[in-house]
């Protein structure tokens, strides 16, 4: 699979693949995946796998296509006018673009956390169980158990267990983001997609989210977009470096940061551009 990188300044080097393999193998396969916004191509024949139970960081300069790739995984881009895709993305072997695929079901299997915490204007408990309620779950015991399990899973339980009925908008930014993670795991997804989940948080709240990601590792497959190199190095097993809509290098985080194969990766991770 390994390909020699070409380090020509005018050319995007060929992708180098040496990712760490997950204990249970691959969960998502991206296969020659391209995406166009109208006439503008944003992703170019990307091929890479996400390994089950591992944390993969997506890094690269602004506008290189990280969010586009992340949002493709649960088909969040579907509603954009003029969007066109080519190639495949397979979740557990099934092409997510199959016509008969249930998109709502797909999104349940992939929880998503955004850059800005987006709790709903309702109580803390109601935020967590929102996805279950939408699904028609009414059993109080199930709902109460989900609130406790998800908030514990998101390392927020101790801070909020005595005020579950309070409005979620009264929480701090970091608490709100952990609440959004609790909501994302309430429906017990297989994959967690995080698009710069700490960029609106202070350093202390950021560390809490990073600790949480480390705790969630193994149980969920996590794909995290981040602009913070230290964060990618701290939380991820594998790192994919994107440039101009192409995965330039993909490998074990340690290798990508300390012994990258491509000069462009080297320049980016050492802060020479970006
Ligand atoms: N809805 C859209 N319609 C048209 N073009 C878009 C749309 N969303 C993104 N793009 C374009 O696609 C390219 C990739 O954008 P994307 O948001 O995926 O980049 P990114 O790597 O996440 O950047 P950032 O680090 O700034 O968040 C950019 O050129 C962007 O302008
Ligand atoms: Mg983005």
Any ligand 1 atom below 6 A from CB of 62: yes
**Protein residue with least CA distance to atom 25, ligand 1:** 62
- The pLDDT, as a whole number, for residue 6 is 44
Is 130 inside a domain boundary? no
- The pLDDT, as a whole number, for residue 17 is 75
Over residues 36-53, the mean pLDDT reads: 96
Residue 189 pLDDT > 80: yes
Any ligand 1 atom below 6 A from CB of 64: yes
Is 246 inside a domain boundary? yes
Is 40 inside a domain boundary? yes
Q: Count other C-beta atoms under 10 Å from residue 259's C-beta.
A: 10
pLDDT tens track for 191-248: 999 999 999 889 999 999 999 999 999 999 999 999 999 999 999 999 999 999 999 9
Any ligand 1 atom below 6 A from CB of 84: no
Is 198 inside a domain boundary? yes
The domain containing residue 56 runs over which residues?
24-118+191-269
Q: For residue 246, give the H/E element and its range.
A: strand 246-252
Is 129 inside a domain boundary? no
The CATH number assigned to the domain holding 64 equals 3.40.50.300
Is 264 inside a domain boundary? yes
Cα–Cα distance, 260 to 206 (Å, whole number): 26
DSSP conformational letter for 14: P
Nearest partner of 20 among 53, 65, 69, judged by Cα: 53
Residue 271 pLDDT > 80: yes
- The pLDDT, as a whole number, for residue 20 is 84
Backbone angles phi, psi at 163, to 5 degrees: -140, 45
Residue 3 pLDDT > 50: no
Residue 12 pLDDT > 80: no
Is 234 inside a domain boundary? yes
Give the end-to-end CA distance of the chain in Å, rounded to a whole number. Answer: 28
Is 156 inside a domain boundary? no
Q: What is the tally of structural domains in the chain?
A: 1
Residue 196 CA, closest ligand 1 atom number: 27
Provide the total of helices (H) and of strands (E) in the chain, helices listed first. Answer: 10, 11
Starting at the edge strand found earlier in the chain, the sheet holding 55-59 runs 16-18, 246-252, 238-243, 55-59, 221-225, 191-195, 110-113
Residue 100 pLDDT > 50: yes
- The pLDDT, as a whole number, for residue 240 is 97
> The pTM is what?
0.92
Cα–Cα distance, 120 to 103 (Å, whole number): 22
């Amino acid at each position: 699979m390994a390909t020699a990188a070409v380090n020509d300044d005018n050319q995007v080097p060929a992708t180098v693949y040496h990712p760490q393999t997950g204990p249970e193998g691959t969960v998502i396969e991206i296969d020659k995946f391209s995406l166009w916004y109208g006439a503008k191509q944003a992703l170019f024949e990307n091929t890479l796998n996400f390994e089950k139970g591992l944390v993969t960081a997506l890094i690269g300069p602004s506008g290189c296509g990280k969010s586009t790739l992340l949002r493709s995984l649960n088909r969040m881009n579907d509603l954009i006018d003029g969007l066109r895709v080519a190639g495949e993305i397979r979740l557990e072997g099934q092409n997510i673009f199959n016509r008969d695929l249930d998109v709502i079901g797909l999104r349940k299997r992939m929880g998503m956390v955004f850059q800005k915490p987006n709790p709903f204007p309702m109580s803390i408990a109601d935020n967590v169980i929102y996805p279950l309620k939408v699904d028609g779950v009414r059993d109080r015991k199930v709902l109460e158990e989900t609130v406790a399990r998800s908030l514990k899973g998101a390392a927020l339980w101790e801070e909020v267990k005595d005020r579950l009925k309070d409005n979620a908008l009264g929480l701090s930014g970091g608490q709100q983001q952990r609440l959004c993670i609790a909501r994302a795991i309430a429906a017990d997804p297989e994959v967690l997609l995080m698009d710069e989940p700490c960029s609106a948080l202070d350093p202390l709240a950021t560390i809490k989210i990073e600790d949480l990601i480390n705790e969630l590792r193994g149980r969920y497959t996590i794909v995290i977009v981040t602009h913070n190199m230290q964060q990618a190095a701290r939380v991820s097993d594998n790192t994919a470096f994107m440039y101009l809509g192409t995965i330039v290098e993909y490998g074990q985080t340690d290798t990508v940061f300390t012994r990258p194969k491509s000069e462009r990766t080297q320049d980016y991770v050492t802060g020479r551009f970006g």
